[in-house]
Chains A and B, each alone.
Chain A
Amino acid sequence: MSPNGQAQGNNAKVPDNVYTVVLAVATCAVVAVAAFVLYMCYTQYGTIKMP
């Protein structure tokens, strides 16, 4: 895998930053879902504590 992104042979080379972006997207999605769940708990039950 080269920083230039040039393909060597038949194997395609994906830069490492892409994986970082993918991890960042996955993290953002998890955070967003957690925030959504907290919002829904607060709006429906009035608290975010466990019973």
Chain B
Amino acid sequence: MSTLTKVLIVLLTVSSIFLCGIVATYVASADNFKEMHETANGQLQRAKRDVSAANAEVNQVKSSTEQAKAALQAKIGSLESELITVRGDLDLAQTKRDQLGNDVDQLTSQLEALAVTNDKWHTMLQNAQTELTKVNAGLIKERSQNKEVTTAILEKMAIIAQLEDQVKQLVSEKEQLQVKLVQVLRQFGKTMGKSTPVTTSASTRDKAQPRLPGPSLAPVGAQVKEIGLKGVITQVDLKNSLAVISIGAAEGVKEKMKFYATRGDTFICEILILDVSAERAVGFLERVQTPPKSGDSISTSIGS
């Protein structure tokens, strides 16, 4: 065997062993592409199934979304119509609010004017109350004077009654003396002449009366003349307790004068004169016993 053959044998052996080692190492460490392919294929199938399921779910979600979109569109439409209605109501409410604001302003101005008027009326009321107090004081004074006058009248009437009794006694004595005189004259055959009245006239009698202490008779007579006013009721307002009488300032009626209303012999009420015109007067009804009516008599004293 030649040397070259031997060298080639050794080289062939070394290279064979070397290549065998490389091949064995490569094969041992090579990837299993079939298994990887199957794994990848399985993953692909699963991915396809997932895609189809996802597509179905997407379609389902799409349909549900479309339904929800349609429902929301309908709801939006109704809400828009409702919004238009609410805006109309809002405009009306704003208009009404403006009107109410104007009304409030007007009422506020009226209230202020009423407050001013109320103050004026309050002042007038205070003045009227002050005057009423003065009038009441004057009325009380006049009542006391009336009581004194009444007392004086009663005293005079008592004196007049006493004097009338004296006159009656004198008349009876006169008649007795005339009878006696007739008898005496008859004894002497004579008759009695025309007799003169024993009683004197009223003026003479007044002069003959003794003067008593108290108010004089002249003012009493004037008051009696005032008291002797008579008339009738022409209108009656029972709601306000007012009455109109047929006599006024021309007949001597004055404010705060009191009249007595009668129907026949029945007392009806009192009328306190509040306002007097020329031919009529208005008075307030007091102590109403029976509702008065037109035609009832009035006078300043009962029984006159």
Residues of A within 8 A of B (CB): 1, 14, 16, 19, 22-23, 25-27, 29-30, 32-33, 36-37, 40, 44-46
5 contacts between A and B (CB under 8 A): A33-B23, A33-B24, A40-B30, A44-B32, A46-B34
Picked from B1, B12, B13, the residue with its CB within 8 Å of the CB of A16 is: B1
Given A44-B32, A46-B34, A22 and B9 contact (CB-CB distance below 8 Å) = yes
Contact between B17 and A26 (Cβ–Cβ < 8 Å)? yes
Chain A interface secondary structure, helix, strand, loop or mixed?
helix
Q: B68 interface residue, CB < 8 Å from A?
A: no
- The answer for the CA separation of A1 and B6 in the assembled complex, in Å, is 12
Chain B interface secondary structure, helix, strand, loop or mixed?
helix
Contact between A40 and B27 (Cβ–Cβ < 8 Å)? yes
A42 to chain B, nearest CB (A): 11
Contact between A30 and B16 (Cβ–Cβ < 8 Å)? yes
Contact between A26 and B6 (Cβ–Cβ < 8 Å)? no
Interface residues in B, total, Cβ within 8 A? 19
A27 cross-chain contacts in B, Cβ below 8 A: 16
Contact string against A for B residues 128-147, beta-carbon threshold 8 Å, 1 for contact and 0 otherwise: 00000000000000000000
Q: B35 interface residue, CB < 8 Å from A?
A: yes
A29 cross-chain contacts in B, Cβ below 8 A: 16-17, 20
Q: B10 interface residue, CB < 8 Å from A?
A: yes
Of chain B, the residue at the smallest CB distance from A38 is B27
Q: B28 interface residue, CB < 8 Å from A?
A: yes
Total A-B contacts with CB atoms under 8 angstroms apart: 45
B6 cross-chain contacts in A, Cβ below 8 A: 14, 19
Contact between B20 and A45 (Cβ–Cβ < 8 Å)? no
B294 to chain A, nearest CB (A): 143
The CB with the most chain A CB atoms within 10 A, among B10, B28, B33, is that of B10
Contact between B12 and A26 (Cβ–Cβ < 8 Å)? yes
Picked from B1, B12, B23, B32, the residue with its CB within 8 Å of the CB of A37 is: B23
B158 to chain A, nearest CB (A): 169
Of chain A, the residue at the smallest CB distance from B35 is A44
B9 cross-chain contacts in A, Cβ below 8 A: 19, 22-23
Contact between B1 and A19 (Cβ–Cβ < 8 Å)? yes
- The answer for the CA separation of A29 and B20 in the assembled complex, in Å, is 7
Of chain A, the residue at the smallest CB distance from B15 is A26
A1 cross-chain contacts in B, Cβ below 8 A: 1
* Beyond A26-B17, A37-B23, A46-B34, 13 extra complex contacts between A and B, CB < 8 Å: A14-B6, A19-B1, A19-B9, A22-B9, A23-B9, A25-B13, A26-B13, A27-B16, A29-B17, A30-B16, A36-B27, A40-B27, A44-B32
B33 to chain A, nearest CB (A): 8
B38 to chain A, nearest CB (A): 11
Of chain B, the residue at the smallest CB distance from A46 is B34
Contact between B13 and A23 (Cβ–Cβ < 8 Å)? yes
B2 to chain A, nearest CB (A): 11
Considering only residues 46-75 of chain B, those with a C-beta below 8 Å from chain A are none
A46 cross-chain contacts in B, Cβ below 8 A: 34
The CB with the most chain B CB atoms within 10 A, among A23, A25, A26, A27, is that of A26
